[in-house]
Amino acid sequence: PKVIYIDAQDNQFEADVNVGQNLMDGAVDNMIDGILGECGGVMSCATCHCYVDPAWTDKIPEPSELEEDMLGMVIEPQENSRLSCQIEMTEALDGIVVRLPRSQY
Ligand code: FES
């Protein structure tokens, strides 16, 4: 399945992300700048912050309490902020659109 990553300059990147892989790994594997994933996906860095397109927010599981806490530390949080390492790819998410923040710090 495909993920559409759109950076803060509106550049759009389409990437194949395997089912079961998370969207942070998918971005890093496809060399998409804007998602760093410094902790490798164990929810201790928040450098994988992204904004899930509103059309898709209902289709992914709610963030855990720990993820909510981590989202409190990102710069420019929004309603649809998520940690991309906590979003696991499924067939149902084929075509999901996530936007990347201007900066992870
Ligand atoms: Fe560190 Fe997601 S990769 S919190």
pLDDT, tens digit, 9 for 90 and up, residues 1-52: 999 999 999 999 999 999 999 999 999 999 999 999 999 999 999 999 999 9
Centre of ligand 1 to C-alpha 91, Å, is 23
> What does the pLDDT read at residue 105?
87
State if residue 50 touches ligand 1 by the CB under 6 angstroms criterion. Answer: no
State if residue 43 touches ligand 1 by the CB under 6 angstroms criterion. Answer: yes
Task: Tell me if residue 58 falls in helix, strand or coil.
Answer: helix
**Which token pair is 91?**
């067939």
State if residue 23 touches ligand 1 by the CB under 6 angstroms criterion. Answer: no
Side-chain-facing half-sphere of 102: CA atoms under 13 Å: 4
pTM of the model: 0.96
Centre of ligand 1 to C-alpha 93, Å, is 20
Answer yes or no: are the C-beta atoms of 25 and 85 closer than 8 Å.
Answer: yes
* Whole-angstrom distance, CA of residue 17 vs CA of residue 30: 9
State if residue 52 touches ligand 1 by the CB under 6 angstroms criterion. Answer: no
Instruction: Please identify, in words, the CATH class of the domain defined by 2-99.
Output: alpha beta
Centre of ligand 1 to C-alpha 9, Å, is 22
Answer yes or no: are the C-beta atoms of 40 and 51 closer than 8 Å.
Answer: no
Which residue type occupies 71?
A: L
ipTM for the assembly? 0.99
pLDDT in tens, 50-91: 999 999 999 999 999 999 999 999 999 999 999 999 999 999
* Whole-angstrom distance, CA of residue 19 vs CA of residue 29: 14
Nearest to 22 by CA among 78, 74, 98, 73: 98
Ligand 1 atom with the smallest distance to the CA of 24 is 3
